[in-house]
Amino acid sequence: MLRAARDTEHDEGNHNRAQERLTPIPRPTLVCLDNFYSWLNHYKFVNFRLLLFFRSCWQGAAMGRFWRDVKGSVAVTMGVALVPLSVAAGVAVDYTRTAWLQTKAQQAIDAAVLAGAQAADANRSTTAQGAFAAAFSMPAGAAVTASFATNADGTFSGAAQGTIASTLMRLVGVPAMAVRASATATPAKRTPVCVLLLQPSGSGLTMSSNSLIDAPNCEIDIKSSGASAALLNSGSAINSSQVCAQGAFTLNSAASRASYKANCASAADTLGSALPAPPAASPCRYNNKTWAGGNNTSITVQQGDICGGMNFNTPATVTFEPGVYRVRGGPIKFNSSVSVIAAGVTFYFEDANSTLQMNSAASFSITPPNSGTYANIAMYEASIANRTDLTINSSSSGSMEGVFYLPSRNITLNSAASLNARRLSFVANTMLFNSSSAWNIDAVADASKRIYTVTPAHLLN
């Protein structure tokens, strides 16, 4: 029985394999065969009509097989699709090249507009063209140009446009692809700083008892990062385009203002390195000189080195002759309602002991030279390790103009002292205002002697 079963399985397997090898007879062929038997039964012999029948039957079966046969159709389909596929590939290649070039053009126009916006008004377009040429490398087959203009609102714009030659898209009549890029930037803002206080910690500026700084057209910068970098008490106020403190403001019975900016990046001290070297030291023209009492109603001080200090203790008009005064070894003190006139004068303080003090309702007017090596410089010094005071007391008043570069001095105004300081650039270590002291300030006229804060140019979205 086992053998019979195996034989049966063997026969069924052979049958199945035979069935798998059989090719199904197409329906038109079967129809033709049925008709063939019908013809044989009807005519009982083969004649011409039978031959025609076989021809038609063969043709019908052959054509049916042709329409149902899928062998070789991929080649036909690919042949038909080759043209649109080639065009699509050309589009992809050319658009990729165009997108790459447009990105490069946009990067270059951004850089050029920023460079132009930071330049002086008259040089913006020239600067921008140079920056664009440096940033944009022209590939083969491309022609791109840039143009720039200052807009009515003060912004600065640039546009780059041109073409890049097509490759495969030439086949469909597109010889070149357009390239466009544009950008607009706000120019760099340069705000003159009329007062810069350099002490890095503690209080850089202290004001009390209704003291006032009036500087509407310039900025006051405080480099202290302390919690009371600017300390304003008892109704004191600063009227300025901006008060920029790297640290914080402490306001005690003093109103806050939008112009008070804490945690602000203050201006760098660029003024010290721009000042000329002092004149060489020479023999002292005055050494520990004092004027007191008598009939000294008019005193003239000749140009030269002042050594060991100088004191004015008589109510006189003191006139300093034009020129540079090198002061060393002691302070210059004005007392007893002295009126000081120093026109066309520059004071150079050589050491920590050489300073200036105004007492007892003294008044002064200091204006620097208009030309020459020390043009627009009223007072200056090298930075000195020891910090000393420069004090104006007791209702003293003064008129100041020009550059006052005193990085080692703590400036104090006491007892209703007042200063009128139009056209000023003032650098000190600290400042202290007490008892209704006031200071009216404007920026120095000479732009080359100004300190600036710069708000960088930036692109508009």
Q: What is the pLDDT of residue 91?
A: 73
Nearest to 288 by CA among 327, 325, 316: 327
Domains for the chain: give ranges and CATH numbers: 84-185 (3.30.1300), 192-452 (no CATH)
Query: Within 10 A of 300 (CB to CB), how many other CB atoms are there?
Result: 10
Q: What is the pLDDT of residue 3?
A: 46
Q: What is the pLDDT of residue 220?
A: 94
Highest mean pLDDT among 1-15, 175-189, 232-246: 232-246
C-alpha distances in Å from residue 379, one per residue of 280, 352, 366? 16, 14, 9
Q: What is the pLDDT of residue 181?
A: 95
User: HEC states along 133-180?
Assistant: HHHCCCCCCEEEEEEEEECCCCCEEEEEEEEEECCHHHHHCCCEEEEE
Q: What is the pLDDT of residue 405?
A: 96
Average pLDDT rounded to a whole number, residues 323-337? 93
Task: Report yes or no: 335 and 312 within 8 Å, Cβ to Cβ.
Answer: yes
Q: What is the pLDDT of residue 419?
A: 84
* pTM for the whole structure: 0.65
| pLDDT tens-digit readout, 366-401 | 999 999 999 999 999 998 889 999 998 877 888 889
Q: What is the pLDDT of residue 29?
A: 46
Cα angle 166-171-174, degrees, rounded to a multiple of 5:
45
Average pLDDT rounded to a whole number, residues 411-418? 85
Task: Report yes or no: 447 and 262 within 8 Å, Cβ to Cβ.
Answer: no
Query: Within 10 A of 279 (CB to CB), how many other CB atoms are there?
Result: 15
Q: Which residue has the higher pLDDT, 324 or 417?
A: 324
Q: Which residue has the higher pLDDT, 451 or 301?
A: 301
The yes-or-no verdict on residue 428 having pLDDT over 90 is yes
> Which amino acid does the sequence have at 325?
Y
pLDDT band at 146 (very low <50, low <70, confident <90, very high): very high
Q: What is the pLDDT of residue 84?
A: 65
Q: How many CA atoms lie within 13 A of 290 on its CB side?
A: 6
Residue at token pair 């300030």: 441
- Percent of the residues in the chain that have a pLDDT greater than 90, as a whole number: 52
Residue 118 backbone dihedrals phi, psi, to 5 degrees? -90, -5
Average pLDDT rounded to a whole number, residues 407-431? 89
Please give the distance of CA 175 from its chain centroid, rounded to a whole number: 40
Query: Within 10 A of 149 (CB to CB), how many other CB atoms are there?
Result: 14
Q: Which residues have C-beta within 8 Å of that of residue 285, sequence separation ≥ 6?
A: 302, 303, 304, 305, 306
Residue at token pair 């270059």: 108
| pLDDT tens-digit readout, 129-142 | 999 999 999 998 89
| Both tokens assigned to 199 | 């002490």
Q: What is the pLDDT of residue 368?
A: 94
Q: Which residue has the higher pLDDT, 145 or 13?
A: 145
pLDDT band at 292 (very low <50, low <70, confident <90, very high): confident
pLDDT band at 88 (very low <50, low <70, confident <90, very high): low
| pLDDT tens-digit readout, 20-64 | 444 454 454 444 445 544 544 444 444 444 444 444 544 555 555
Q: What is the pLDDT of residue 222?
A: 97
The yes-or-no verdict on residue 116 having pLDDT over 50 is yes
Q: What is the pLDDT of residue 44?
A: 43
Q: Which residues have C-beta within 8 Å of that of residue 446, sequence separation ≥ 6?
A: 375, 376, 402, 403
- Return mean pLDDT, the chain: 83
The yes-or-no verdict on residue 203 having pLDDT over 60 is yes
> Which amino acid does the sequence have at 294?
G
Plot region of 89 (φ>0 → left; ψ -120 to 50 → alpha; else → beta): alpha
Q: What is the pLDDT of residue 40?
A: 44
Average pLDDT rounded to a whole number, residues 115-127? 90
pLDDT band at 230 (very low <50, low <70, confident <90, very high): very high
